[in-house]
Amino acid sequence: MTDCVFCKIIAGQIPSKKVYEDEDTFAFYDIRPHMKVHFMIIPKKHISSLMDCQSEDQQLLGKMMLMTSKLAKQEGLPDGYKTLVNTGLAGGQEVFHLHVHVMGGGSL
Ligand code: AMP
């Protein structure tokens, strides 16, 4: 999607502090962190929000959830972390490209 900031990050058109990338996911640090460690996991496929996911996205969603612990450990959170998926305007979502926030390490 041409006007999506996260699609531009995936494409390398906007710089990011990358955590991980594979054929269908991308992870990078949040520019306005809420905790000492705060990154997001996103699908490369443009899906606007959790509300827009279809049954065909089940495997991708499961993969993103399983990635949280692997990447949290990699980024220095071996003992636990918070996850957050803001969904829709009423859910506080600001960027309409599905993302899972992964946060921990104490407040700033
Ligand atoms: P949400 O409210 O769940 O939609 O959160 C979107 C998040 O994206 C916010 O925490 C923003 O700080 C973050 N964000 C927006 N633009 C960028 C960017 N260019 N690089 C990294 N994080 C971003």
The CATH number covering residue 76 comes to: 3.30.428.10
For a mutational test of ligand 1's pocket, the pick from 31, 41, 42, i.e. the residue with the most ligand atoms closer than 8 A to its C-beta, is 31
Residues in Cβ contact with 88 at an 8 Å cutoff, skipping those fewer than 6 apart: 49, 51
Full residue range of the structural domain in which residue 44 is found: 5-104
Number of domains the chain is built from: 1
pLDDT digit string (tens) for 84-107? 999 999 999 999 999 999 999 999
- Work out the end-to-end distance of the chain between its first and last CA atoms, rounded to an integer number of angstroms: 33
Please tell me the predicted confidence (pLDDT) of residue 2: 77
HSE-up of residue 16 (Cα within 13 Å, Cβ side): 25
46 is catalytic: no
Two tokens, residue 43? 């699908």
> pLDDT tens digits for the chain (108 residues)?
779 999 999 999 999 999 999 999 999 999 999 999 999 999 999 999 999 999 999 999 999 999 999 999 999 999 999 999 999 999 999 999 999 999 999 999
